Amino acid sequence: MSLLALQWMHPLTALAAAPVMESAGENLGTILPLWSILPFVGMLLSIALIPLFFPRFWHRNFTRVAVFWAFVFALPFIYFFREVAVHEIIHIVVIDYIPFILLLWALFTVSGGIYIQGSLKGSPGINTIILGIGTIIASIIGTTGASMLLIRPILRSNSWRVHKVHTVVFFIFLVSNIGGALTPLGDPPLFLGFLHGVPFFWTLKIFPQMAFAAIILLALYFMLDSYYYKRESKTAAPDHAPEPIRISGCHNFIFLAGIISAVLFSGSMKMGEVDILGVHQSIENLIKDAVLMLMGAGSLLFTKKELYKNNEFNWAPIREVAHLFAGIFITIIPALAILKAGEQGAMAGLIQMIDKPAHYFWAVGGLSSFLDNAPTYLTFFNSMLGKFYPGMPEAPAVARLIVEKIPYLAAISIGAVFMGANTYIGNAPNFMVKSIAEEAGVNMPSFFGYMFKYSIPILLVLFVIMTFIFF
């Protein structure tokens, strides 16, 4: 028997004694070795390297690559863990992946039917205003909603320009991530905090950090775009008479409001659970998902096809995201289980070193750059409750946490939301924006190109400065 099989057999023996599926799932993170995340690492490296070195192969085979890594993890996982493994895979598909894709699909579809037209020349001033507006509304309609609503107008306004990659990158920084920090509607981690007792408007306490980051990035963007703008050929700029800004397809704002209401409904109602293939899913979440499908279908039914055509709308971006994130969600199972296990898991050394707000900021942010930021936030949220208020029920512990430990809760909130911008996969809309931009002809940087050219020299420096100022 191979060494790999022997290493899988020990956890299997340990789980055999588990009396129920739920307890077996809870024990999973304590016995999985750190190397079990290798298929997830392989998935990330494939996204990073194959498009760089074999772009034609990637364009034709990214679905096969995702399926390959999913099977590399799932087959031995199911073979050695049997029912527990099947349950974990079904759980992440039913509870996480399907709602994730439905929300993205609904927002992608509805926003695609909203056509903003008029004289948007793509100047540094106009671009900065659009980024500023997107940053503000991201906390109201979510980072995904704001991204899907504004990415096409800003791409159209800059279509005549040669230098526009930096505009899409700063769009990801601000609209797709940092702008969602002020309400639970902005980003999933904050919504999880809201579900666990953090007041809806508590996140306004991190307005100084959000404003600091946004102002610095907007100012930096304006200077950078002004530099590139001077290098553009002005003969390529639109020379038609100024047109007033008009919005067509305004009925889609009703569908957008329906999507937001459905998300709020699912977080505020408790209507019981139903069993789906052995996984307990709440009724309110099923209602939410049904409303999302209804809103998307309503948009397709009642929106003129010419509006989608004017927006250069097609299904390629959502298809790519759906296929790649299927592989990511499957292979991420051991990473999330180990992280959830805390000091009993393979990442115990990391968990034990975290003590100060700055530690939480970088630990949550660093992991959120590559893992799902929602469970990462929740893991460290629970870790703080156990550290500061051991043995206390959640409700009174959270009531004290939001008053007595503001820097700690602010640290994990900002880390989870802000550092999702560090990579293309750090937050759901990042990859969607990249795909839409590439469909529009923008030559976006590779996975590592994005990091080494933009996020590391810009964002990480900003986050280091914020650490000294705020934490």
- DSSP β-bridge partners for residue 53: none
**pLDDT tens digits, one per residue of 166-195:** 999 999 999 999 998 988 878 878 876 776
Question: For residue range 284-336, what is the model confidence (pLDDT) as tens digits?
Answer: 889 988 999 999 999 999 998 888 888 778 888 788 888 988 898 898 888 87
Residue 343 φ then ψ, to 5°: -75, -5
Provide the number of structural domains found in the chain.
1
Using the Cα atoms of residue 122, residue 127, residue 129 and residue 130 in order, give the sign of their dihedral: positive
| CA dist., res. 276 & res. 231, Å (int) | 58
State which H helix or E strand residue 69 sits in. helix 55-91
| Structural domain span for residue 108 | 3-470
Q: Which residues pair with 115 in a beta bridge?
A: 248
Return per-residue pLDDT of the chain as tens, 471 residues.
343 443 444 444 444 444 444 444 557 778 888 888 899 889 888 887 888 788 889 888 989 999 999 999 999 898 888 888 898 899 888 887 888 788 878 888 888 888 877 667 778 888 999 999 999 988 887 888 788 888 888 988 888 888 899 999 999 999 999 998 988 878 878 876 776 678 878 889 999 999 999 999 999 999 999 999 888 776 555 655 556 777 788 898 899 889 888 888 887 778 888 888 888 888 888 998 899 999 999 999 999 888 888 877 888 878 888 898 889 889 888 887 777 776 777 777 777 777 789 988 998 898 888 876 766 787 777 777 767 776 677 678 888 888 888 899 999 999 999 998 998 878 878 888 898 898 888 999 988 889 999 999 999 999 999 999 998
Alpha helices in 120-175 (DSSP H): 124-157, 165-174
- Cβ(249)–Cβ(115) under 8 Å? yes
Q: Are 11 and 85 in contact (CB under 8 A)?
A: no
- Supply the DSSP string of 202-235, one letter for each residue: GGGGGHHHHHHHHHHHHHHHHHHHHHHHHTS-GG
